[in-house]
A = this chain, B = another copy of it.
Amino acid sequence: MNSFGRLFRLNIFGESHGELIGITLDGVPPGIPLTLNDFKTDIERRKPTQKGTTARTEDDMPEIVSGVFKDYTTGAPLTILFKNKNVRSDDYSEIAQFFRPGHTDFVAYKKYKGFNDVRGGGHFSGRLTLVLVAAGVVAKKIIKPIAITTKIVEVGGSSDIETAISRALEQNDSVGGVVECVAENMPISLGEPFFDSLESLLAHAVFAIPAIKGIEFGSGFELARMYGSEANDVFIDRQGHTLTNHSGGIHGGISNGNPLVFRVAVKPTSSIGVAQKTFHFKNEQMESVLIQGRHDACIALRVPVVLEAVTACVLADALLMTKAYDSNNAQD
């Protein structure tokens, strides 16, 4: 089921090597100015221009096919498409012979009983993060003045990111990383107690990004090592500002007005340029395989703009939820 959100709702579709990929946004308020220009920056940021990412040459031009009229959102479902121009005509028959380590080949084959689109990972492809980025562009307009920033804080366990990537590249290997996300100008009240805690909603969306295997809010796992007297964030004024922000701006699942802070762990790209062992079905034994094709040395480099996007989508949804109950409904 490929949808997410209650009031700002994302529905994604498409496969890596199909005709196109797309997203439908349901619940976009009417009257938001939106043109193709708005997408440029974020789409560029996702592109593989950095060292450590590789070139799939795509124009990645969005087409808005519904929900916008005369450069304003209409309130109707907003659909954005991206054509897949660079469709490889590879031979995928090998896939029937062994499953690539770390890849989705195996689970996709099992779950969909062999009917899944095997070309380039099909619907599981990281290419679909492109439509998440597009959704983020719209969401960011809804959540203003909340401002989200992300940065890569660690690659291969080191903060010297360039060096760590170079080392992986030299070995035809890949390497993991940690990305931090911060949202400033946060309103108080986003999120709900228990099941729709802001942490629950953010984590739900964040784990939709391929390759993410961990998330921590505020001081996260470090909190597990602290005393309460260290961990408690002290309120310093009537507005709820705190001296420290170990909680990452969330108390009891609700945003407390301090900056939202969280970090995610990104695993190394599964596709690597070195031989790996795996079970070969036909030969019925372990064999060494070298998987062809380009790969990103560090998929974490592409995560920041995607992470911003899903964060913006979650905050937009939570914000609309808050507005629903905020008005003065109480009457006798």
Query: Is the CB–CB distance between A102 and B329 below 8 Å?
Result: no
Chain A, interface size category, equals: 35 or more
Choose from B6, B24, B124, B220 the contact partner of A24 (Cβ within 8 Å).
B24
A324 touches B329 (CB 8 A): no
Residues of B within 8 A of A214 (CB): 214-217, 220-221, 223-224
Main secondary structure of the interface of A (DSSP, over half): mixed
Whether B142 pairs with A329 at a CB distance below 8 angstroms is yes
Interface-forming stretch among A43-51, A53-61, A172-180?
Answer: A172-180
C-alpha spacing A287/B2, complex, angstroms: 50
A330 near B30 with CB under 8 A, answer yes
A11 at interface, CB cutoff 8 A: yes
Q: Mark A202-235, 1 if CB is under 8 A from B, else 0.
A: 0111111010111111111111111111111111
Which chain B positions have C-beta within 8 A of A236?
A: 279, 286
Q: Is the CB of A228 within 8 A of B15?
A: no
Q: Contacts A1-B27, A231-B102, A323-B323 hold; do A13 and B215 have CB atoms under 8 A apart? A: no
Chain A residues 3-57 with CB under 8 Å of chain B are: 3-4, 6-7, 9-15, 18-22, 24, 26-27, 29-33
Extra contacts, 17 of them, besides A1-B26, A176-B226 (Cβ < 8 A), are: A2-B76, A7-B325, A11-B77, A15-B69, A22-B65, A29-B325, A32-B330, A69-B119, A74-B116, A106-B240, A141-B332, A173-B229, A175-B227, A194-B208, A201-B204, A213-B221, A229-B272
